[in-house]
Each structure stands twice: as C-alpha cells, then as structure tokens.
Amino acid sequence: MAQNKAAENGGFSFTRTGSMGRQGLPKIQTHPEATSEVCHDDSGTPVKAKTIDELHSLQKKKSSQPTTPINGKQGSFAAISEEDRQKQQLQSISASLASLTRETGPKVVKGDPARKSEGQKATHVEHHLYDASLFGVSDSALKFTHILYNLSPAELYEQAIKYEKGSFITATGALATLSGAKTGRSPRDKRVVKDEETENELWWGKGSPNIEMDEHTFLVNRERAVDYLNSLDKVYVNDQFLNWDPEHRIKVRIVSARAYHSLFMHNMCIRPTPEELLEFGTPDFTIYNAGQFPCNRYTHYMTSSTSVDLNLSRREMVILGTQYAGEMKKGLFSVMHYLMPKRQILSLHSGCNMGKDGDVALFFGLSGTGKTTLSTDHNRYLIGDDEHCWSNNGVSNIEGGCYAKCIDLSKDKEPDIWNAIKFGTVVENVVFDEHTREVDYSEKSVTENTRAAYPIEYIPNAKIPCVGPHPKNVILLACDAFGVLPPVSKLSLAQTMYHFISGYTALVLNQSSFCLKYLPVACIAYY
C-alpha cells in the first residue's frame, strides 16, 4: 500500500516517522524501488550517447551535399568514395594555395579544427610541385591549414560570430559585419599586370583606369598573400560561377580568411547545384583575399599598404591591405570585361528587369545613380541589379545576388530591398541598437557607404534563371547635377550610342540623398 502511494506521488512519500522538517511539516522520503512502476509521458528510447560530444554529433545528420569537385568525365554523383572525393578536392585547393618559391606548403586538411573532437576524419594533401633542391623548406610546412569548403550561410554565421569581432545578428536575422579601416573600394591601389598578352589589349596610359604593374611584383604580392593564408589555422574556399548564360559561364574560386567574405561571395556569385559542384574541376579564375595583411609599401609599384592586383594571364587576383568585400565583386567584374568581349559579348555595368510581356529594360549608371532601386520594381521581373552580359542569346546576369546601398533605406520607398535584409544577408558597416539590434539606416557613424549583399532569390519577383531576351529599352542614369542634360531626355539611336561610348556621367554630389531626388534620365526605346 505504501509502495502504491509512493508510485502515485511519483516515487516520493510523506511519512511521520518522528523526523520533522521546518514548521512541523513531515520530511520527504524517496522510494527508488517504486520509480520503475511510474508512468512517464516521454516513453522514447534513451539516447545512446555516452559523452556530450557524441550527443552533439547525433544532432546533425550527414549531409547529401557534395563537397568535392570530380575531375574527368564521370557523371553526376558518380560512384566514388567519400575519401577519394575529399582527396580530389584537397588536391585542387592545394594546387591553388601552392607557393611559387618553395616545394612544400602547409598540409591542407578538410574541416574546422574546432570540431575534430567529434571524430572528424582528417585527410591531408601535401604540396609536391617544385624541385626541393632549389628552395628551402620553411617551418610552415609542418603545420596544417584547415579548409572550410563551400560552407552554408548558417555555418558561416557561426564562424563569423564566434571568431570575428564586430559580427552580430540584427533584429531581422541579417549578419552585421565591419570591413575594417576601408569602407569602400581603393581604385588608386588597384594594379593590372602589363605583359605580352595584355600590352596591346588593354587601355594604358593617361586617363586609363588601368594602373600597370609587372608580373614579378604581382608574384611577390601573391607569395605574401598565400603565405599569410597558409599561416592561418583555417581558410574559407568558395567554388562558384559567374554568368547565368550556361554557354559562357565562368568558374571562380575565392580563398579568404574571413567568414564574412565567404558569405558575401556566397551571396554575390552564382551558387552551384550539388551536381554542378561535383563536376566543378579546375577554376577559370582564383581570388586570394588576404586583406587583413598589408602589402609591403617598399615593393615596386606600391603607394600604400593596400594593393589589389589583377593578373589576367595567370587568371588570378590578390588582395592585400583592405577587407572591403566589394573589391572581390568588382575584381571579378573587371575579369568579365576582359574575357567577354573576346567572345563578342558586351559586358555591362547596368541593372536589368523585364515586364510581363517580355520587354527587357537596361539601366546604366555609376554606383549610387539608382540602378538597384529602379531595377527592383515589384511590377517587373528582376534579372539583375548591377552586372550583365549582352550576347547573341540576349541578356544574362553575371552575378547571383544584389549589392544594395543601405543609407536612408526605408520600407515604404524600397520594400523589396528592405524585406531582403533577413537571415543570410550581409549588412556592412551599419549601426544598430545594441539591445534590440534594430538597424538605423540613416546613421552614418561608420560610413555613408553602408551596404547589403543578399541572394537574388530574396527578391520575390526575381527571374530565375536570370536571363532575358534582347532589351527593348535602354536608360542611361547620368546623375547630372550640372545641367548638361535636361532632367529627362529621349535620345535617338545615334545619340544613345554617342553617350554610351563617351561614357558621360557626372560626379555625384551626394550619392545617398541627391541622386534619386534629382535624377536626370536619358532613354531610347527599341522596337
């Protein structure tokens, strides 16, 4: 009877055995033997994990997402072991990170070093590319560099918040980050290698935006960047695409030191499908982003501690001394300006959208003239906000995301952009309330050039794939504050060609508030 009473009370009984508690209440005595007959609501099988690490490992099921490019002509998801897949991927990345002056570099290992306690198997590949008798082997060859390959936004959030100071989740779920001392691009620190291939193909000299450097200086900076990346415990690697036109798609690899940069490029480039990633192979172009590490100012052609170097012959780009993510975006755009005209394709700095009847409009203009705002029209389908190719097939977006200015952003004026700033979006250099994490888009304390980078799918009416027929309307956003053009000008075909070729625009007096209030437009309709 006493046992049944105990069972009814969940294994406890109240007794009056002469031992009294406070205020004359009886002490509680437990009956462990009665607990076996107690009925519980949770009748599931107990967890088999013996340690907390084992329990955590059960929380995540094995992903079907492929993590290794396959070389050769094997079909999608070919019958290949996970270990062989991993070796192929690491060999490819190892070749990208190889030093040019030493036979060996650090051992390249898959995965986050912080998660090795979960029983993660380490596979490594050493560099064996150069004659060891010619060059000494440094102590860096004894260490491991962990490769975090094509991480998902959720994984990159975890990395940024845990390891990068200045990374926070805002009230809408976006990742707020800081780009360091540079909050915009550094065009005067950008260099292009002048060699036999580019000497007669690029515009050089006075008035040209192409500031030359020689290949030796590029290799010095490349070695400095690769050495810095190899000295880190882990680096982030993105394998992605440029250009939605499958006939002219470019494969790019981005090697970076910051999760913020990896997430930014995840959003801005075209994200491969699992099948495409398996067959990715060797990239057509590689970026080495060592922006946290400065260049050597005493190196030839250097004028500051920042250097953004482009070698079109080697198909490589090196970033030193600036963490502003826009350098990667514009660097790849420069590459497309070089590669696409060779294929008789016009690469365009423009926004693009399409009406319900298939009429495509292009919006040309410098940064801040309204391309993103005007192309993101909820009454039309968005093809892209900034970079496009115009070929015999029609127009195609180069990118997989949008890079919108945030200064004075409001839900009423730009609802689609406002709603796109959510989980997965990167917001750069914005100011937010430290308690509520609500972003104040009018605040310019860090910079006026606040930005949001988000996948193009975050715009509800985005056209996927981001391609369209030949344009019917071309709109030139000159942002002319000086009255050279009337506020709105309808141009003939010849006039439009003249202004396009001459590249007429005007300095934007106040990019955040002026350009949309007094926006002069020149347009021509094609029929």
Asked whether 483 and 511 are in contact (CB, 8 A), the reply is: no
Q: Give the integer Cα–Cα distance in Å for 304 and 152.
A: 35
Q: Is residue 497 part of a domain?
A: yes
Q: Is residue 386 annotated as part of the catalytic site, yes or no?
A: yes
Domain boundary among 323, 343, 363: 343
Which member of 372, 373, 450, 512 is catalytic?
A: 372
DSSP-derived secondary structure letter, 483: S
Residue 483, domain CATH: 3.90.228.20
Closest CA to 147 of 226, 256, 227: 256
Examine the domain organization and report whether 389 and 506 are in the same domain: yes
- What is the DSSP secondary-structure string of 211-254? -EE-HHHHHHHHHHHHHHHHHSSEEEEEEEEE-S-GGG-EEEEE
Whether residue 185 lies in the annotated active site: yes
304 and 369 in a common domain: no
Helix, strand, or coil here: 436? coil
Q: Is residue 70 part of a domain?
A: no
Q: Which of 371, 380, 405, 499 is catalytic?
A: 371
- Is position 371 annotated as part of the catalytic site? yes
> Which one of the listed residues 309, 386, 416, 480 is annotated catalytic?
386
- Catalytic residue chosen out of the listed positions 262, 367, 396, 447: 367
Catalytic residue among 349, 437, 444, 472: 349
Residues 316 and 262 in one domain: yes
H/E element holding 260?
A: helix 259-268
| Domain match, 355 and 336 both | no
- Report the pLDDT value the prediction gives residue 58, as an integer from 0 to 100: 72
pLDDT of residue 522: 43
Is 367 assigned a catalytic role?
yes
**Residue among 272, 307, 292, 112 nearest 193 (CA):** 307
- Whole-number pLDDT of residue 512: 36
CA distance 105 to 230: 7
Rounded Cα distance between 371 and 383, Å, is 12
Whether residue 315 lies in the annotated active site: no
* CB-side neighbour CA atoms (13 Å) of 82: 11
Per annotation, catalytic residue among 451, 480, 496, 512: 451
Q: Are residues 212 and 326 in the same domain?
A: yes
pLDDT reported for residue 79 = 57
Of the residues 318, 343, 368, which one is the last residue of a structural domain? 343
pLDDT in tens, 482-527: 777 777 888 888 888 888 888 777 665 544 333 333 334 444 444 3
Nearest 5°: phi and psi at 475? -120, 125
Split the chain (527 residues) into runs of 10 and give each run's mean pLDDT: 47 52 61 48 68 75 55 46 78 87 76 67 53 53 86 97 96 96 93 95 92 95 95 95 97 98 98 90 96 92 93 97 97 97 95 96 86 92 97 97 95 95 97 96 94 97 97 86 75 85 66 35 41
**What total of structural domains would you count in the chain?**
2
Q: Does residue 312 come out as left (phi exceeding 0), alpha (psi in the -120 to 50 range) or beta?
A: alpha
Residues 194 and 335 reside in one and the same domain: yes
Residue 2 resides in a domain: no
Beta strands in 248-345 (DSSP E): 250-256, 285-290, 307-311, 316-320
Domain-ending residue, one of 325, 343, 361: 343
CATH of residue 219's domain is: 3.40.449.10
pLDDT at residue 298, rounded to an integer: 87
Give the structural domain span for 356.
344-406+458-526
